[in-house]
Amino acid sequence: MTQPPAIAFVTLGCPKNEVDTDRMRAAVVQSAFGLAEQPSDADIVVINTCAFIREATEESLGTIFSLANESLPDRADRALIVTGCLPSRYGRDLDQQLPEVAALLPVAEEGDLLATIERITGVSAGRGVRQSASDTSAGARDAVGASAVSEGDSAMMRTDSEPSAYLRISDGCHRACAYCTIPAIRGPHVSVPLDAIVAEARQLVALGAREIVLVGQDITAWGRDLDGAGTLADVVRAVSAVRGVAWVRLMYVQPDGVTDELLEVMASASNVCHYLDMPLQHASATVLRSMGRRGSGVDFLSLIARIRAILPDVVLRTTLIAGFPGETRDDVKQLHAFMQEARFDYIGVFAYSPEEGTTAAEMPDQVPPRTRRARAQRLRDVADEIGFEKAAEQIGRTHTVLVEGVDEDGSVVGRWCGQAPEIDGVVVLDRGSAGEIVSARILDSLGYDLEGEVF
């Protein structure tokens, strides 16, 4: 191989996977290997997979087969490396099932990526002495220069140069929800030390991020495994104080971790978005107990009232599961009534998926798949009805909008604080440049999307 091997990344799944991919990309940038923008231009394609539910597993396998047999069949020397949740969940059993794959790296072994590429290609990673391949992305080269701004970092942690960046403050989960595969995939909850979080936030700002989105399987559990009495509120204070951070957003906040201290920090820091993503999963106390979770619709309504008392303009998102084993028509009615009263801005509704290895998959009274799907769709219709009304309430208001860039239709798009990246819709603007923060008057709404005029 006359040129250093070029590496392309394909990421599936949630923002936590995007963070993992960016860390692996940063390692490649600092090596003698190059980066390729597209898999078709690469010598090695790294597929970072999701396997949280059956549909995600099927998508991951479909992507692997597509890249191996359809999209990239012309290069016998091109290799596929599969990382992330799929090998973490199913282990080395995949070796026999995926002969197309050169290597499998579970989440815990993603730090071995460079050594794995060395083994496959026979080319030394030459860590710290990077040579540009002809098809290395310009964005990666820019990231190398920008990372030098980071304070005291001997090695680059990230390459993300988007206006919004995810910052993972913890990984894994200490809970035992009956339906969930995350503890088996990601392991127990582990908090990232506060100084490392702040250092990464500074680096992301140096790379061009204006918004820092705090993510983890359960960010409210941050600090429980560290010495001292630190809480998520301390993380929010520290990250919001980093120079250059325009917005801080909280995602994956469990309801029992929403404390008055956290809400008061959110209220007092001018650059913390009044936005909370709380996965409640249901409103029936009976179903929640079966799930291995706490609470009830009454408890959640009380929590929502407390949140809105401290943050009157808060935007709320949740996720709900329809068709959990043992769920009755009365449980569904309770959930429907709860949705109507709580009036979340955004609700993601999922039909229950029985996952191998989970307690719920072995429970009696499994709801038939067709019924699960039908219940989920009815709840989605309710969620959209409420969500569209909440979006329309923004018409006539003025919002600060973070410009993300130009979409595939050529329109300038951005988001106000009430819209999280990738999931909550956008504000379509008449003008603006990526990374710019503008004031816009909201003129119209279409579903969850808004139309704004910059002034």
Same domain for 168 and 259, yes or no, is yes
What pLDDT was estimated at residue 134? Answer: 30
What is the C-alpha separation between 325 and 13, in angstroms, rounded?
25
Total domains present in the chain: 3
Q: 15 pLDDT band (50/70/90 cuts)? A: confident
Determine, yes or no, domain membership for 1: no
Residue 84 is classified by DSSP as E
CATH code of the domain in which 50 resides: 3.40.50.12160
What is the C-alpha separation between 434 and 189, in angstroms, rounded?
35
Helix (H, G, I), strand (E, B) or coil at 7: strand
Determine, yes or no, domain membership for 137: yes
Determine, yes or no, domain membership for 242: yes
Same domain for 386 and 413, yes or no, is no
Is the pLDDT assigned to residue 135 strictly greater than 60?
no
Helix (H, G, I), strand (E, B) or coil at 89: helix
Q: 150 pLDDT band (50/70/90 cuts)? A: very low
Task: For residue 254, give both structure tokens.
Answer: 């469990």
| Single residue among 340, 357, 392 that ends a domain in this structure | 392
Same domain for 225 and 193, yes or no, is yes
Residue in 120, 151, 122, 117 with CA at minimum distance from that of residue 30: 117
Same domain for 134 and 160, yes or no, is no
Q: Taking the CA of residue 314 as centre, how many other CA atoms within 13 Å lie in the half-sphere pointing to its CB?
A: 25
Is the pLDDT assigned to residue 238 strictly greater than 90?
yes
Q: 186 pLDDT band (50/70/90 cuts)? A: confident
What pLDDT was estimated at residue 155? Answer: 61
Partners of 437 in beta bridges:
402
Same domain for 230 and 378, yes or no, is yes
Q: How many angstroms from the chain centroid is the CA of residue 409?
A: 25
**pTM for the structure as a whole:** 0.85
Is the pLDDT assigned to residue 56 strictly greater than 80?
yes
What is the C-alpha separation between 455 and 229, in angstroms, rounded?
45
Domain hosting residue 193, numbered range: 155-392
* Number of helical (H) and strand (E) elements in the chain, helices listed first: 14, 18
Task: For residue 281, give both structure tokens.
Answer: 């999963």
User: pLDDT > 90: what percent of the chain?
Assistant: 72
Average pLDDT of the segment spanning 149-170? 71
| Single residue among 99, 122, 146 that ends a domain in this structure | 146
Same domain for 72 and 89, yes or no, is yes
| CB contact at 8 A, 285 and 312 | no
Same domain for 34 and 73, yes or no, is yes
What pLDDT was estimated at residue 162? Answer: 86
